[in-house]
Amino acid sequence: MKFFNAGQIYAADKSTIEKQGISSNELMERAAVQIFNWLHLRMQGAQVKIHLFCGIGNNGGDGMALARHLKEHGYNIEVNVVNYSDKRSKDFLINLDRLKDLKIWPNFLERDCGFAEIGRDDIIVDAIFGIGLNRNPDPWVAKLIQHLNHSGAFILAVDVPSGVFMDKAIEDTNAVIRANHVLSFQAPKLIFFLPETGVFSNQWEVLDIGLDPEYLAATETEYDLMGKNEVLPMYVPREKFSHKGTYGHSMIIGGSYGKIGAVALAARAALTVGSGLVTAYVPRCGYVPIQTLLPEVMVITDKDEDCIKSIEFDIRPTVVGLGVGLGTSPETAEALSGFLDGIESPLVIDADGLNLLSKHKELLKKLPPKTILTPHPKELERLVGSWKDDFEKLKKTKAFSKKHDVIIVIKGAHSITVYGGHGYVNTTGNPGMATAGSGDTLTGIITGLVAQGYAPLDATIFGVYLHGRAGDIALEQTGYQALTASKIIDAIGMAFIDLFKMPEVPEQEGQEES
Ligand SMILES: NC(=O)C1=CN([C@@H]2O[C@H](COP(=O)(O)OP(=O)(O)OC[C@H]3O[C@@H](n4cnc5c(N)ncnc54)[C@H](OP(=O)(O)O)[C@@H]3O)[C@@H](O)[C@H]2O)[C@H](O)CC1
Ligand SMILES: [K+]
């Protein structure tokens, strides 16, 4: 699914109005009816007090039109116009008049006015600002927003929580609605997925308002949301007349004294995701544990007992996953530098591999094109420098990706794979996965996919999805606390099977069983 920016949404509106021969107010009516239907289905006429807070633009217009439908169905409503500007939109005014025709007289809230009490059991509809917010709300509007947030009432936001910008960070977090639920038009918004802005949209849902499908399909976006439908076409089926050689040879290079488990996890993940062969390259102290833990995995050892000091072998792996448990000693840095001089295979780099790159930035020039880097936030900061907010983090990561021709996974609640100017936002995963070894598992999964011939970008996006989905499936048995990296690997098979499960379709009323 695509993430459209505000300009693209306005263009989609325009195209819809032209092609479908409707007025902008008819489009607003569609949006309002969708919200009304959502509420009506859940409330079934219940007389809970609904306080609507409407701005003076089109977000406010949506709120006004919704108020009319609620009134016509006998709901207990109170309408407030947040009069933050005198530039009222045409469709807001049309819907204000239509509301007055029903003898509803909104309260006009202005600077210095008091705000009425709102009960904890009431409902608030937030239609103050939508995607048109372009500067910080006035202090009195911020005060109103605080009043609503502190009321304890359920807040339903129209399109976006009022106070969040579509394309930049929030400056004053006190001036943002903390929505319990957001009903967003046509497509999800990127801001729901970024840590700093996502917290204001506890839950969100998309309502289809029938924007011009041709425009939406033809429009290139900077970010995409990657769910099952998006990753499924990447899946490469297994051939009947294939053998283990068909599915490549993954080599995992890493480990140091006390951190051999990281390599074991990555190697087992590569194997479980389908890599034909897997070899672990570890210091000597890793030989017995890996051979004992993983009979399927071959082991090559460094000359050193405790850490990797030279990376030399005479096999030709299809792909190398490097860095888990590696350590950052000067000798290991030296070994990495020598290894990169002769590298012939694609590369996945994680953990101390990334820390070594940050410490020795000259090594970045030696990376093969489309090397995959999988940093957590601290590792990313060491690579690209610090950032002041999520938007700058994305900008810096994109610039780094372009400069060095690398694919970068920004790990987090919604991991984002960045390549060049494009970002792919993952939908799977859960907080239980913030656990030791979870990252090593991801490295192994991506490495194992590249081994099988997945293109590096596909392997990364698909690997991040599978990793999260395996974590979600494992969670059903373990709960958040007991979810371990090993359990994530155990669930990889189910994550593959899940790709082909059809969503359950609720039985239609009156539908006969055949
Ligand atoms: N396709 C769709 O998704 C549709 C969405 N709809 C709804 O329309 C809004 C967007 O409406 P818009 O009128 O463009 O914008 P807002 O309602 O968010 O804001 C109104 C105007 O307020 C001004 N502004 C911006 N920031 C501030 C501020 N801090 N203080 C005061 N005023 C502010 C700004 O105008 P200026 O000229 O003053 O800059 C805004 O234009 C969308 O979110 C949906 O809810 C349609 O109903 C149907 C199609
Ligand atoms: K809103």
Nearest to 496 by CA among 265, 296, 228, 247: 228
2-219 folds as: Rossmann fold (3.40.50)
Q: Is the CB of 31 under 6 A from ligand 1?
A: yes
Confidence of residue 2 (pLDDT cuts 50, 70, 90): very high
Output the CA 397–ligand 2 centroid distance in Å: 30
Q: What is the mean pLDDT of residues 72-78?
A: 97
Say how far apart CA 447 and CA 73 lie, in whole Å: 57
How are beta strands 2-3 and 223-226 bridged, if at all? Answer: antiparallel
Give, for ligand 1, the residue of 10, 20, 85, 89 to mutate: max count of ligand atoms closer than 8 Å to Cβ: 85
Say how far apart CA 329 and CA 349 lie, in whole Å: 17
Instruction: Check residue 337 and report its DSSP letter.
Output: H
Q: Which atom of ligand 1 is nearest to the CA of 30?
A: 48
Q: Is the CB of 58 under 6 A from ligand 1?
A: yes
Burial of 341 (0-12, 13-18, 19+ CB in 10 A): exposed
Nearest to 60 by CA among 99, 114, 117, 6: 99
pLDDT of 512 higher than 60: no
Give, using CA atoms, the residue closest to atom 19 of ligand 1.
132
Residue pLDDT, tens place only, 135-183: 999 999 999 999 999 999 999 999 999 999 999 999 999 999 999 999 9
Output the CA 130–ligand 1 centroid distance in Å: 5
How are beta strands 347-349 and 319-322 bridged, if at all? Answer: parallel
Q: Is the CB of 25 under 6 A from ligand 1?
A: no
Tokens 């606390």 label which residue?
A: 481
What secondary structure does DSSP assign to 308-322, as a single string?
A: ------SS--SEEEE
For 417, the token pair is 């794979």
Nearest to 54 by CA among 6, 7, 91: 91
Task: Indicate which ligand has the atom closest to the C-alpha of 31.
Answer: 1
Give the SS3 label for residue 438: helix
Cβ pair 81, 108 in contact under 8 A: yes
Q: Is the dihedral of CA 268, 270, 274, 277 positive or negative?
A: negative
ipTM of predicted complex: 0.98
* First-to-final CA distance of the chain: 34
Sequence letter at residue 124: I
Give, for ligand 1, the residue of 58, 81, 96, 211 to mutate: max count of ligand atoms closer than 8 Å to Cβ: 58
Count of C-beta atoms within a 10 Å radius of residue 182: 26
**Residue 240 confidence (pLDDT):** 77
Q: What is the mean pLDDT of residues 280-286?
A: 98
Sequence letter at residue 143: K
Q: Where in the chain is the domain with CATH 3.40.1190.20?
A: 231-499
Give, using CA atoms, the residue closest to atom 37 of ligand 1.
87
Which residues, other chains included, contact 80 with Cβ-Cβ below 8 Å and sequence gap of 6+? 51, 52, 53, 54, 106, 107, 108, 109
Say how far apart CA 121 and CA 48 lie, in whole Å: 7
pLDDT of 508 higher than 60: no
Q: What is the mean pLDDT of residues 295-311?
A: 97
Q: Which residues of 390-400 are buried (b: 16+ CB within 10 A; e: fewer)?
A: bbebbebbbeb
231-499 folds as: UDP-N-acetylmuramoyl-L-alanine:D-glutamate ligase (3.40.1190)
**Residue 245 confidence (pLDDT):** 75
Say how far apart CA 334 and CA 308 lie, in whole Å: 10
Nearest to 300 by CA among 290, 274, 319, 292: 290
Task: Indicate which ligand has the atom closest to the C-alpha of 57.
Answer: 1
Output the CA 411–ligand 2 centroid distance in Å: 29
Confidence of residue 514 (pLDDT cuts 50, 70, 90): very low
Residue ranges at the known binding site for AMP: 411-415, 439
Count of C-beta atoms within a 10 Å radius of residue 203: 10
Model confidence, pTM: 0.93
Count of C-beta atoms within a 10 Å radius of residue 236: 13
Task: Indicate which ligand has the atom closest to the C-alpha of 126.
Answer: 2
Say how far apart CA 493 and CA 470 lie, in whole Å: 8
Q: Is the CB of 170 under 6 A from ligand 1?
A: no
Q: Is the CB of 129 under 6 A from ligand 1?
A: yes
What secondary structure does DSSP assign to 186-225, as a single string?
A: SS--GGGTSHHHHTTEEEEEEE-----HHHHHH---SEEE
Half-sphere exposure of 403 (CA within 13 A, CB side): 11
**Residue 503 confidence (pLDDT):** 72
pLDDT of 403 higher than 50: yes
Task: Indicate which ligand has the atom closest to the C-alpha of 62.
Answer: 1
Output the CA 32–ligand 1 centroid distance in Å: 15
**Residue 505 confidence (pLDDT):** 63
**Residue 504 confidence (pLDDT):** 66
Residue pLDDT, tens place only, 332-374: 999 999 999 999 899 999 999 999 999 999 999 999 999 999 9
Residue pLDDT, tens place only, 122-145: 999 999 999 999 999 999 999 999
Q: Is the CB of 159 under 6 A from ligand 1?
A: yes
Half-sphere exposure of 195 (CA within 13 A, CB side): 15
Residues of the chain with pLDDT > 90: what percent? 94
How open is the CA angle 192-194-195, to the nearest 5 degrees? Answer: 110
Q: Where in the chain is the domain with CATH 3.40.50.10260?
A: 2-219
How open is the CA angle 381-384-387, to the nearest 5 degrees? Answer: 60
Output the CA 79–ligand 2 centroid distance in Å: 15
Q: Is the CB of 55 under 6 A from ligand 1?
A: yes
Count of C-beta atoms within a 10 Å radius of residue 213: 11
Half-sphere exposure of 359 (CA within 13 A, CB side): 15
Q: Which atom of ligand 1 is nearest to the CA of 136?
A: 29
Cross-strand pairs, 205: 183
Say how far apart CA 325 and CA 437 lie, in whole Å: 10
Residues of the chain with pLDDT > 70: what percent? 98
